[in-house]
Amino acid sequence: MNIVIVGTGYVGLVSGSCFADKGHHVYCVDNNQSKIKDLKNGIIPIYEKGLKSLIDRNTANGHLEFTTSLKDAVGEADFIFIAVGTPEMTNGEANLEYVYHVADELSEVLDDTRYRVIVDKSTVPIGTAYEVRKRIARNIPTAAFDVCSVPEFLKEGSAVHDTLHPDRIVIGTDSEKAQKRLVELHRPFSNQLFVTDIRSAEMIKYASNCFLATKISFINEIANLCDAYGADIKEVAAAMGLDKRISPHFLNAGLGYGGSCFPKDIKALINMADQVDYDATLLKAVQQVNTKQKYRVISHLHNVFDHELAGKKIGILGLAFKPNTDDFRESPSLFIIHELVKQAATVVVYDPVVGHKARLPDKVEIMEEVTSVFDHVDAVVLMTEWPEFIHLPYESLKHKMRTPVVIDGRNALDPVELKNNGFIYHGIGVR
Amino acid sequence: MKIAVIGTGYVGLVTGVCLSDIGHTVICIDVDQEKVKRLQSGDPIIYEPGLEDLMKKNIEKSRLSFSGNHQTGLAGAEVVYIAVGTPQNHDGSANLNYIEAAATDIAKNITQDTVVVTKSTVPVGTNQHIKEVITVNLVHPVKVTVVSNPEFLREGSAIQDTFSGDRIVIGTDDEQAAYIIEEINQPFGIPVYKTDIASAEMIKYASNAFLATKISFINEIANICEKTGANVDAVAAGMGLDNRIGPKFLSAGLGYGGSCFPKDTNALVQLAGNHEHDFKLLKSVIEVNNNQPLHLFQKAKQRLGDFKGKKIAVLGLAFKPNTDDMREAPSTLLIQQLLEEGANVTAFDPIAIENARRILGDGLTYSESIDETLQDAEATFIVTDWEKVKNIDLATLEQRMKYPIVFDGRNCFALEAVKTANIEYYSMGRSDIANREKLAVGGSNK
Ligand SMILES: NC(=O)c1ccc[n+]([C@@H]2O[C@H](COP(=O)([O-])OP(=O)(O)OC[C@H]3O[C@@H](n4cnc5c(N)ncnc54)[C@H](O)[C@@H]3O)[C@@H](O)[C@H]2O)c1
Ligand SMILES: NC(=O)c1ccc[n+]([C@@H]2O[C@H](COP(=O)([O-])OP(=O)(O)OC[C@H]3O[C@@H](n4cnc5c(N)ncnc54)[C@H](O)[C@@H]3O)[C@@H](O)[C@H]2O)c1
């Protein structure tokens, strides 16, 4: 099959290279010239485990090509996937400008020489596929095509693995012909193909992400209660997770969700509800909890330092919103750094992949070595649970610190060991 | 092991019966003498599949007995389970009067070292309190250890849940006590999770509160689906395939009820409030839940204009199928609302009528026949998804009812099936099926 993927971000690039690896011919299209130039030279703009070798292999055998020209790519295409960004606007609504732009472009460049399945992979509000269809049809009323929704569920940090071994693939379509083709195309990836109508498919994506966000906010609230009542959130979460109706995933208490998806998808669904006059109370509460949760770190620091952080030097471990990714959009770490700077603390930071990519306040120093984060600091705060942070020689690093304070925003460290080594330790809901 | 169980409600009785069935000698104690008499005669009083047989079998084998007297009941017991009620106070907090009374009863009557196991759902810190109450009131100088062993059974499948639960939580600081309780439960073959007391107490509330959250979450999604044209059943099925989410507790409907979720969520909100923590998330879960029955009622009101003098059928009273428990059942709110607006309500339920009458009174007609309930009704509400209700032939609705307008609070029927029937159908989080072209129905059509 000939496949075109429009947009080479996390989603487009990963699904494009995975399709290529199954033997299809894939064109990845992006209007960002320098990105395409890099990709052609084997430079991968994002960090994902296994992605580079996948791309190298499939560009070498000619299955995977990169271009900036949508027109050149779509000529022979059987499938066209739209995987461009859908960032949030200030009111939380999903910005469909990029998706519609692609639709309008397709309307210019498609011809009626063959039937095509056009697929929304981007996360889009309910009903968007119908608008995309209308826009594409504008200049080519006779072209044979269907617009379907196949929402993406990959997670940054394990994107390649998730694409090759998904729990399920959701296919939303109202056309039998498109359904048949999409089932055929996705069958090699999963036995669990869930076919439904377009609107429900679009909703499944939002509902799934929002549920996981709800789970995170829920366990964070319980962690806060554990702090108040002397229970231990790790114990509570572990036993809750044994209940099959609950499942152990997404029950790690911490500083809340971040990244490019959960925050924006929650806001978008709240906005969608608002637009149909439904007040999504529960979702709003989930979001409020998340907004507040990051400041637990600050309040722990306040408790330790008697509400005065001015002049204190704080070392931050981690910038990415979670480990194994270089994505720091909406990362709690950034909020905390800004807050600390606002409170006149001195901040030094280390992250193994984000490094200098993040835009930080001027005064913040980015370290090249993880151990430098401990030099003469009053406290170290773990913000991303990168494996290398968990296995640091804390006992010896303690001697570099001004005061041995560790705030563990991810409950990733062993409290007993640290306390035995003379640290003042605070996690989120752990004793 | 010689075991005494205090309180013979759903939890105490099922626990006592199951512990006797795996070989222990169990005596169940209750202050309600009438109840004790009936239990002694082999009448389980409450309805639970399999309970009566199991109970009779173990009474016959002399492993299970009942007593209305704490002195005789507690004599010689090595382990005492507390399974009395912890209803909610007006402010939503848990009422611990029964727990304290049971603790005092224990203190006055035990004559040997005893492990006291709390099965009742109690706020964090209560087991510590129980220990204090017992210690203060002890008559004989014996050693008492407390264990929190929260109960996870569900009404309607209580026996099955006890024999094949997901986990048994044992919370105590005393290793020896933990060992004893683990040994007692060993024949069930269920994974044991040992932890400290406070965490065990929290596990129970957190688990229930999370499941309540899951229900309100899908109901909120249903309400959005309804307005955007998606189908919540498809959405839930698609979500449920995600292993991190799981398919359970994702049925949109009239919300949760029963003796646990409502009171446990309220208690947790209260518990948070005690520490000046505003548990907004859980408050919103409760709010969504309270709104669900009213949401369906409003839909009906919009469709029918008013209810005055109209016969309205209600299918199902119990808060969920396979139980006669009416505590906090959504049917209550809905029926009260209908009666207030002048409807003539006839309600069907196979086993909950007796309990329902105590709450709802005689202002409506009760029936154990679906056909009779539907006869000449101008609208039907489906409230409990009893098997019998789900198996109704849609043609019956058309034939029996005056106007076949159905408000299905439990999404009992597939939309495809409804489309081929001559009924007007409104459900939760799915498109309305008016079938108006096929129907010339009454009511003040808006
Ligand atoms: N990142 C994730 O983990 C993830 C997971 C599931 C779903 N999604 C959804 O998938 C979509 C894409 O996410 P992403 O993280 O890959 O986005 P991204 O911002 O990383 O990438 C989008 C790419 O599209 C390109 N683009 C924009 N307009 C274009 C046009 N007209 N023609 C060609 N290229 C164009 C951009 O240059 C950019 O490279 C979003 O809707 C997102 O919500 C993302
Ligand atoms: N019902 C459930 O599905 C369920 C599930 C899990 C946990 N729980 C929890 O278990 C506890 C019991 O619930 P239930 O539904 O079985 O309650 P219930 O109200 O049905 O039964 C309580 C029984 O205890 C008796 N009792 C009260 N004080 C006593 C005393 N001092 N001595 C002896 N007997 C006494 C009462 O007469 C009554 O029969 C509650 O804390 C509840 O939250 C219930």
Give the CATH number of the domain where residue B123 resides. 3.40.50.720
Cα–Cα distance for residue pair A150/A169, rounded to 1 Å: 7
Q: Is B45 in the pocket of ligand 2 (CB under 6 A)?
A: no
Whether residue B175 sits in one domain with residue B202: no
Nearest to A225 among B225, B243, B277 (CB): B277
Q: Is A268 in the pocket of ligand 1 (CB under 6 A)?
A: no
Residue A349, strand partner residues: A316, A366
What pLDDT is stored for residue A324 in this prediction? 87
B89, B151, B264: residue to mutate for ligand 2 pocket, most atoms within 8 A of CB = B151
Whether residue B160 sits in one domain with residue B229: no
Residue B365, strand partner residues: B346
Contact indicator for B401, B376 with CB cutoff of 8 Å: yes
How far CA B273 is from CA of A15, A225, A336, B267, B270, in Å, comes to 47, 10, 27, 10, 5
What pLDDT is stored for residue B431 in this prediction? 94
Specify the DSSP class assigned to residue A375: T
Angle A233-241/B197-228 helices, nearest 10 degrees?
60
B209 touches chain A (CB under 8 A): yes
Contact assignment for B246 to A247 by CB distance below 8 Å: yes
CB atoms within 10 A of CB B268: 27
Q: List the single best residue of B208, B210, B248 to mutate versus A (max A Cβ within 10 A).
A: B210
Give every CB contact of residue A36 below 8 A, 6+ residues apart in sequence: A8, A30, A66, A67, A68
Q: Which residues of A are catalytic?
A: 261
Contact indicator for B115, B134 with CB cutoff of 8 Å: no
Q: Is B29 in the pocket of ligand 2 (CB under 6 A)?
A: yes
Whether residue B400 sits in one domain with residue B370: yes
Q: Which residue has the tokens 């009936």?
A: B38
Q: Which residue has the tokens 């022979």?
A: A76
The domain made up of A294-426 has a fold known as: Rossmann fold (3.40.50)
Contact indicator for A123, A86 with CB cutoff of 8 Å: yes
Residue A367's nearest CA partner among A348, A386, A383, A346 is: A348
Q: Which atom of ligand 2 is nearest to the CA of B158?
A: 3
Cα–Cα distance for residue pair B411/B422, rounded to 1 Å: 17
Cα–Cα distance for residue pair B198/B147, rounded to 1 Å: 10
Contact assignment for A242 to B166 by CB distance below 8 Å: yes
Cα–Cα distance for residue pair A392/B344, rounded to 1 Å: 72
A294-426 has the same fold as A2-196:
yes
- Which residue does chain A place closest to B249, by CA atoms? A245
How far CA A127 is from CA of A130, A199, A200, A201, B229, in Å, comes to 6, 6, 9, 10, 8
Angle B330-340/B280-304 helices, nearest 10 degrees?
40
Chain A: closest CA distance from residue B276 (Å): 10
Nearest to B284 among A200, A207, A281 (CB): A281
Cα–Cα distance for residue pair A212/A389, rounded to 1 Å: 25
Q: Which sequence spans correspond to the domains of chain A?
A: 2-196, 205-292, 294-426
Class of domain A2-196: alpha beta
Contact indicator for B321, B260 with CB cutoff of 8 Å: no
Q: Is A36 in the pocket of ligand 1 (CB under 6 A)?
A: no
Residue A373's nearest CA partner among A319, A314, A425 is: A314
Q: Which atom of ligand 2 is nearest to the CA of B264?
A: 43
Contacts of A284 in chain B (CB under 8 A): 284
Nearest to B211 among A230, A245, A269 (CB): A245
Whether residue B250 sits in one domain with residue B158: no
Distance A91 CA to ligand 1 centre (A): 20
Residue B289's nearest CA partner among B261, B269, B268, B321 is: B261
State phi, psi for A246 to the nearest 5 degrees. Answer: -100, -45
Contacts of B209 in chain A (CB under 8 A): 218, 222
Structure tokens at B49: 């599949």
Which of residues B195, B211, B240 is at a domain's end?
A: B195
Cα–Cα distance for residue pair B252/B254, rounded to 1 Å: 7
Contact indicator for B198, A230 with CB cutoff of 8 Å: yes
Specify the DSSP class assigned to residue A269: H
Backbone region of residue B429 per phi and psi (left: phi > 0; alpha: psi in -120 to 50; beta: other values): left
What's the domain range around B271?
Answer: 196-446
Q: Identity (one letter) of the amino acid at A160?
A: V
Sign, CA dihedral B360-B365-B366-B371, equals negative
Count of the separate structural domains present in chain B? 2
Which of residues B195, B224, B254 is at a domain's end?
A: B195
Among protein residues, the one with the nearest Cα to ligand 2's atom 30 is: B102
Contact indicator for A187, A22 with CB cutoff of 8 Å: no
Q: Which atom of ligand 1 is nearest to the CA of A32?
A: 37
What pLDDT is stored for residue A329 in this prediction? 85
Whether residue B249 sits in one domain with residue B179: no
Contact indicator for A394, A421 with CB cutoff of 8 Å: yes
Which parts of chain A sit beneath pLDDT 50? none
Question: Count of CB contacts below 8 A, A vs B?
Answer: 198
How far CA A101 is from CA of A92, A116, A136, A403, B430, in Å, comes to 20, 18, 10, 55, 32
Structure tokens at B51: 């309970």
Contact indicator for B312, B342 with CB cutoff of 8 Å: no
Cα–Cα distance for residue pair B71/B74, rounded to 1 Å: 6
Backbone region of residue B226 per phi and psi (left: phi > 0; alpha: psi in -120 to 50; beta: other values): alpha
Contact assignment for A247 to B244 by CB distance below 8 Å: yes
Q: For the whole model, what pTM was predicted?
A: 0.94
Q: Which residues of B are catalytic?
A: 260
Whether residue B277 sits in one domain with residue B187: no
Contact assignment for A200 to B238 by CB distance below 8 Å: yes
Residue B349's nearest CA partner among B336, B366, B365, B335 is: B366
Cα–Cα distance for residue pair B186/A76, rounded to 1 Å: 65
Whether residue B214 sits in one domain with residue B340: yes
Which parts of chain B sit beneath pLDDT 70? 436-446
Q: Which residue has the tokens 């879960």?
A: B285
Contacts of A207 in chain B (CB under 8 A): 221, 235, 239
Whether residue B242 sits in one domain with residue B189: no
The binding site of A for substrate comprises 153-156, 205, 250-254, 258, 322
Whether residue B208 sits in one domain with residue B335: yes
- Which residue does chain B place closest to A277, by CA atoms? B227
Residue B225's nearest CA partner among B433, B432, B434 is: B432
Specify the DSSP class assigned to residue A392: S
Angle B280-304/A198-229 helices, nearest 10 degrees?
140
Structure tokens at A234: 């790790």
Whether residue B218 sits in one domain with residue B182: no
Cα–Cα distance for residue pair B254/B428, rounded to 1 Å: 8
How far CA A31 is from CA of A9, A37, A42, A132, in Å, comes to 11, 11, 18, 19
Whether residue B335 sits in one domain with residue B206: yes
Specify the DSSP class assigned to residue B96: -
**Pairing of β A346-350 and β B192-195:** unpaired
Which of residues B173, B195, B217 is at a domain's end?
A: B195
CA end-to-end distance (rounded Å), chain A: 56
Q: Identity (one letter) of the amino acid at B221?
A: I
Q: Identity (one letter) of the amino acid at B44?
A: P
Whether residue B231 sits in one domain with residue B191: no
What pLDDT is stored for residue B445 in this prediction? 40
The domain made up of A205-292 has a fold known as: N-(1-d-carboxylethyl)-l-norvaline Dehydrogenase; domain 2 (1.10.1040)
Residue B4's nearest CA partner among B97, B95, B71 is: B71
